[in-house]
Each structure stands twice: as C-alpha cells, then as structure tokens.
C-alpha cells in the first residue's frame, strides 16, 4: 500500500510508450512556453542522460514552434566548475542536441567566493565541506540559468524525474528549482528510452549516472550514494516486489526528503 501511494504521488504511469511520451511532453513544452508568453527554454547540460533527454525534448519543441511561425529558442548552458571531469561527455551531449545557442559559464569563481565568505563568517562545515560546497555549486548553476533566462525571456528546464524524486537526490533550490521538469513521472529506464528514441548516442544513454558535485569524489556513482541500484528503484516504481534490503532504504529516503517535494511550507 505504501509503495502504491508513493508511486501515485510521483505521477508514474503503469503503461509506457517512448514515442507517445515524447509527443506528449514536446506538446506540453510548446504549450507551456506559449501560455507563459516567453520565447526561450534554458537548460544546463551536464553530460548525463537526464539533461540530454530533456535537451532533446526542448530542442524538438522549439523547432516545431518555429515551424508554426512562432519565435522560440533553446539555449544549452554549460556550467563547469573549472574543468569538468567528464567534459567530453558534456560536449558529446551538446553535439547530439544541436541547440540553437550554447553559453558557457564557469561557476567556480562565484561558488568559491561564496563558500569563502561563509567560512569567513565563522561557519565551519568541517567534514561536510565538500558536500556543502556541492550544494553551493548546484545553486550557483541555477542562478546562472535564471540570469540567462531573464535576458532571453525564457524559462528554465529542470531534469528531475521519478527515480531522483523518490530518493530526494537533488539540491533544494538548486537543480530542483526549475520552472518546468519535462521528465517528471519517468523512472530511469524510461528516461533512457526517451533519450534513445530521440537518437541519443548509446554511450551517453547508458553512462553510469553521477552527480559530479563533490570535489573530492567528482564521478561518484549515484547508486553508491543511494546504497541501492537504479534497477531496484525502477522496479519499486513499477509496482514490483523488491527485497526488503532495498525497499527499506528507498522508502526511508523518500520520507526523509519529503521537505524537498513540499516547498514552500505555509504557516499553519
């Protein structure tokens, strides 16, 4: 019962057809941009399959809008912290998407300056330094994307999907702070299927997912952080019975991250 309630809350559907999902989500992006009276979508491209899938959807949406005679642009934003460890994957993702514009913003000066100011104020994260800095990076990236969107009369696309939402694996007011998440309700397998159907290269579709935020472990796999695999998470999201050793940490992560999915919390 608890599993079904979680799945329903995350908007995961029982049936899935990649072509149908693509058509529906592209139409949603088109309609939302028109209704919002904006003319651009902005998305940070990391080199992972999530931003790749979202970018391919966005690029198709703006292309179809232009074919209908409307003004629409997709801006891909590269947001390295100095030199990105998997920069070649990010470059390959941009090449696959073929965005209308590419803007690169190095977030390292801003993130480091902010972290230094925090430390100078007497706050000492000690062993959590790299974790806290990682969240600063995520929020700095969103600041940059919203600044670009402000100049371009645009909306910021997020890459959150059901598997990450289930685990609370995103930074509050960071990568979870976008205007529209076109991958919402998809588990990881389905995100990969969407990307593959849109023509993404296999090495990027099947790349091991990493957050890339903590400087002391820049390519640490998501699954290592979770303590469970994406296959187990996706099985959970498909109403399948999974072993308690996997189900318990999944449900625990969902409950512990509830505050991320309920913002802001009104006074009672």
Indicate which residue of 50, 175, 179, 222 is catalytic. 50
Strand 101-104 and strand 154-156: the pairing is unpaired
From 21, 89, 160, 164, the catalytic residue = 164
- Report all structural domains of the chain as residue ranges with CATH numbers, in order of start: 12-222 (3.40.50.620)
What is the predicted pLDDT for the residue at 25?
Answer: 98
Q: Order of strands, edge to edge, in the sheet holding 73-78?
A: 101-104, 73-78, 40-44, 154-156
Active site includes 87?
A: no
Write down the pLDDT at residue 127.
65
> In this structure, how many other beta carbons lie within 10 angstroms of the beta carbon of residue 75?
24
Whether pLDDT at 267 is above 80: no
Where does residue 124 rank: exposed (0-12), middle (13-18), buried (19+ CB within 10 A)? exposed
Q: Which is more confident, 121 or 202?
A: 202
- Please state which of the ranges 26-30, 137-141, 217-221 shows the lowest mean pLDDT: 217-221
Does this model's pTM top 0.95? Answer: no
50 a catalytic residue:
yes
d(Cα 52, Cα 182) in Å, to the nearest integer?
A: 12
Of 102-111, 205-214, 221-230, the one with minimum mean pLDDT is 205-214
Average pLDDT, the chain: 93
For 77-101, how does the pLDDT look when each residue is reduced to its tens digit (9 = 90+)? 999 999 888 899 999 999 999 999 9
How far apart CA 255 and CA 268 sit, in angstroms, is 21
What does the pLDDT look like over 143-202, one tens digit per residue? 999 999 999 999 999 999 999 999 999 999 998 899 999 999 999 999 999 999 999 999
Alpha-carbon span 114 to 254, nearest angstrom: 30
To which H or E segment does residue 210 belong?
A: none
Tokens of 249: 């940490």
Q: Are 229 and 153 in contact (CB under 8 A)?
A: no
SS3 state of residue 208: coil
- Local confidence band at 106 (pLDDT 50, 70, 90 cut-offs): very high
- Enumerate residues 6+ apart whose C-beta is below 8 A from 65: 30, 33, 34, 71, 72
Helices 49-67 and 188-197 cross at an angle (nearest 10°) of 50
Per-residue pLDDT at 111 exceeds 70 = yes
What is the structure's pLDDT at 210? 87
pLDDT in tens, 212-221: 776 666 778 9
Query: Quick one: pLDDT at residue 257?
Result: 94
Exposed, middle or buried by CB within 10 Å (0-12, 13-18, 19+), for 216?
exposed
If one compares 180 and 264, the residue with the highest pLDDT of the two is: 180
Task: Report the distance separating Cα 233 and Cα 186, nearest Å.
Answer: 12
Here the tokens at position 138 are 């995520």
Model confidence band, residue 123 (pLDDT cutoffs 50, 70, 90)? confident
Predicted confidence at residue 129, as pLDDT, reads 83
Q: What are 104's strand-pairing partners?
A: 78
| Dihedral angle computed from the Cα positions of residues 178, 183, 188 and 189, in that order, rounded to the nearest 10 degrees | -170
Angle between helices 2-9 and 244-256 (to 10 degrees): 50
């Amino acid at each position: 019962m608890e599993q079904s309630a979680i799945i329903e809350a995350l908007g995961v559907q029982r049936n899935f057809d990649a072509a149908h999902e693509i058509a529906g989500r592209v139409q949603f992006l088109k309609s939302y941009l028109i209704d919002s009276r904006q003319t651009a979508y902005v998305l940070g491209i990391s080199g992972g399959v999530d931003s790749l899938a979202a970018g391919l959807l966005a690029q198709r949406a703006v292309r179809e809008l232009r074919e209908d005679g409307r003004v629409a642009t997709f801006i891909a934003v590269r947001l390295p912290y100095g030199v990105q460890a998997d920069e070649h994957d990010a470059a390959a993702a941009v090449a696959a998407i073929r965005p209308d514009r590419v803007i690169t913003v190095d977030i390292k000066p801003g993130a480091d300056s902010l972290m230094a100011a925090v430390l100078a104020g007497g706050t000492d994260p000690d062993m959590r330094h790299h974790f806290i800095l990682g969240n600063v990076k995520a929020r700095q990236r969103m600041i940059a994307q919203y600044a670009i969107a402000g100049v371009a009369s645009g909306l910021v696309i997020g890459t959150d999907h059901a598997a990450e939402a289930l685990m609370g694996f995103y930074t509050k007011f960071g990568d979870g702070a976008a205007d529209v998440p076109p991958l919402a309700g998809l588990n990881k397998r389905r995100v990969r299927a969407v990307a593959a159907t849109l023509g993404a290269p296999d090495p990027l579709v099947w790349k091991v997912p990493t957050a890339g935020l903590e400087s002391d472990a820049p390519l640490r796999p998501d699954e290592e952080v979770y303590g469970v695999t994406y296959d187990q998470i996706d099985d959970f999201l498909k109403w399948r019975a999974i072993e308690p050793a996997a189900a318990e940490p999944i449900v625990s992560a969902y409950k512990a991250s509830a505050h991320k999915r309920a913002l802001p919390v009104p006074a009672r």
